[in-house]
Copies of this chain bind each other. A is one copy, B any other.
């Protein structure tokens, strides 16, 4: 497909079956490997850049028609098995009364660093304060082909706390960790509040039609396993317990969390999202029997020629034993510098090779 061509119209619903993505999340035997891509609606797409020419990032997040449009763009282009709501993890932070700017990462002029500041944070009603997100979810359920599952999402409490306390991304998050180590009571109070807010928010997305939810813990990898266990784990565990709904898989994604796998496995999440810093075959023995995994191609592999993209994807698929649930994804969000053709190569290959590996294994059996 040419970069400047008009995107084709949405494929017609091919069937009314349970989407492949959801069946894979539940660990069921499937005909091939489903694939979606973190940040699949984004700047690497020319049609996304055209929308962004006229509106800033926050307006895009806040306007359901526009957010719906950009969410659908990669679905029109590629044969993806899931669609993820276009939004930003800082939406609930704004709803809590904290002013957030983007440059391009989140910037908070008045970081939340004291017991008083934490106490002053609200617990917003999602319908009143984040209705634009819920409207986008409703739009998408109407617009998406039934074979494409809709994923809702939120930032994990620790990742949101990281931005709120630090004021933005940072090399070592000294302010965040100072609060954590110097005033653990205040830190836990912040995490507890964020867990409630994120829980309310994810439940509202499910109510509006999200068929799965993913919690992004982008910064959890800043912590030693001991500190994750003390400062993060209990909050994620109670959040997941509260949000888990029948038939709605819960995906927990972490970045740089190779040391935290055993703990993430115990949170109650159905699917563990892995970055590319360890092989799936290294991760599986450290997870519960039958735990479904998602991942884990290095996003930079999409800069490579097609044969290398295919080799690297094949290597990942070969690490999945028969009966092991797997959703293909990148190990982190797609880069804005990615050629569109590389995504086409990847999606086609994963579906074809996933199908071939399954049929050759079936033939052996």
Contact = CB atoms under 8 A, between A and B. Distances in A.
Interface of A: 172-174, 177-178, 181-182, 221, 223-227, 256, 258-259, 276-279, 282, 296, 298-301, 303-305, 308, 312, 315, 331-332, 335, 337
Contacts of A300: 172-174, 177-178, 181
Contacts of A178: 300, 303
Which 3 interchain pairs have the tightest Cβ spacing?
A: A259-B278, A181-B304, A177-B300
A279 B225 contact: yes
A278 B286 CA distance: 13
Given A174-B300, A298-B177, A277 B256 contact: yes
Contacts of A296: 224
B259 A221 contact: no
A177 B297 CA distance: 13
Given A256-B277, A258-B278, A259-B277, 15 more contacts: A172-B300, A172-B335, A174-B303, A174-B337, A181-B303, A182-B303, A221-B256, A221-B277, A223-B277, A224-B278, A224-B331, A225-B282, A227-B298, A259-B278, A259-B279
Given A174-B335, A177-B300, A224 B259 contact: no
Contact of A224 (B181, B223, B276, B308): B276
Task: Report how many copies the assembly holds.
Answer: 2
A279 B174 contact: no
Nearest to A227: B298
A225 B282 CA distance: 10
Contacts of A301: 177, 181
A21 to B, nearest CB: 24
A331 to B, nearest CB: 8
A276 B172 CA distance: 13
A279 B315 CA distance: 28
A169 to B, nearest CB: 9
A172 B174 CA distance: 22
Contacts of A181: 300-301, 303-305, 308
A264 to B, nearest CB: 13
Given A173-B300, A174-B300, A308-B181, A224 B279 contact: yes
Nearest to A308: B181
Contact of A256 (B182, B256, B332): B256
Nearest to A228: B277
